Amino acid sequence: MSLTLIIIIITFLAILLCAFTNGIHNISNVIVTMVSSGALDFRKALLLVAFFEFVGPLLGGTMVAGAVMSIIKTERIIAEFGSGQIVVIVLASVLAAISWNLITWHFALPSSSSHALIGGLVGSALAATRQLGFIAWGMGGGNVFHLKGFSGVMAAMILSPILGFIAGFTTTIFVRFLLRGGTPRTNHFLKRAQIFSSSALAFSHGSNDVQKSMGLMALVLLSISPETNLHIPFYVKFVCAAAIMLGALTGGRRIMKTVGRGIFRLKIEHGFNAQLASTIIILGNSLVGGPVSTIHVISTTVMGVGTAVRSKAVRWNKVGEIALAWITTLPATFLLGALIYFIISPLAKYIK
């Protein structure tokens, strides 16, 4: 087995490990509202979302994967520094995201795995090229409404939590209006409805989050086989989906408690509202290629629901802790990505 193949296999395994830690952070939050509101227990909820987590990546297209790939100017980097640099950049970015995911998981903070990946990718790419021109910042052309590359990705990530809060708030007001004067049977109906809303949220989560790992794998494939372009093989979709699900089964309970009880204690109606609002935002971004942070969206929809019900019931001190993790993720992983690149950069010369 050649050294090139060994390094590429290690990079693929690192991407899968990143998807695994992503699952630790994020997939449990797909089911948090359903479990916290008492609609289903944890085990049954996991079985429900497992199927739709796999279906999402298979039917969700590759728009989000393409957005991740567009952040760095791959062809220019290959032409200037060789294809080996792309592999090392991806490996460094993934190791940075894994490190940050594990740090924040230890402290039970729902930080963004998506932000961690983007920060690590930009930091390692700048460390490799030492020039700003190899990042597709996407802010040229004079049209501020047509963002792409890094700015397009960041716009989706920044706007989606805001839209999540608004969607959670308005959905709660609307559903409360529809259910005014409801009987005790209303709660039974909402419990059943959460089966569908949870399935839709799992599908939207899979169609967005798994594609980020798929995009990184595609970058590596593109560096060693230029004709790959945006075609993502089925096995890439399958193994990434399997890795993120395994992560959820392994360690998702801690952060689920932070979102489900640490922000606002969810009841059945609240869980349904939060799931419906999150699905609208996440699936909408998947359709247009916006790689959002699902934990951001789900957390802010819970905040929106809580505010609509009773703003004083929202534990804003816990929200502050979460916001701190959000703010620090991008710069922290930017530096981690650069540092890890400098450590492993000698590997590039062994990749032919």
Distance (Å) of CA 115 to CA 153, 200, 313, 331: 10, 23, 29, 9
The per-residue pLDDT for 41 is: 75
Distance CA 278, CA 203 (A): 11
Q: Which two tokens stand for residue 322?
A: 């979460």
Structural domains counted in the chain: 1
Range of the domain at 287: 3-139+147-350
CB 86 within 8 A of CB 219: yes
Distance CA 31, CA 90 (A): 30
The angle subtended at Cα 294 by Cα 290 and Cα 299, nearest 5°, is: 130
What confidence tens digit (pLDDT) does each residue in 107-124 have?
766 677 788 899 999 999
The list of the chain residues with pLDDT below 50 reads 141-145
The per-residue pLDDT for 77 is: 92
Q: How far is CA 62 from the centre of its chain?
A: 15
The per-residue pLDDT for 143 is: 47
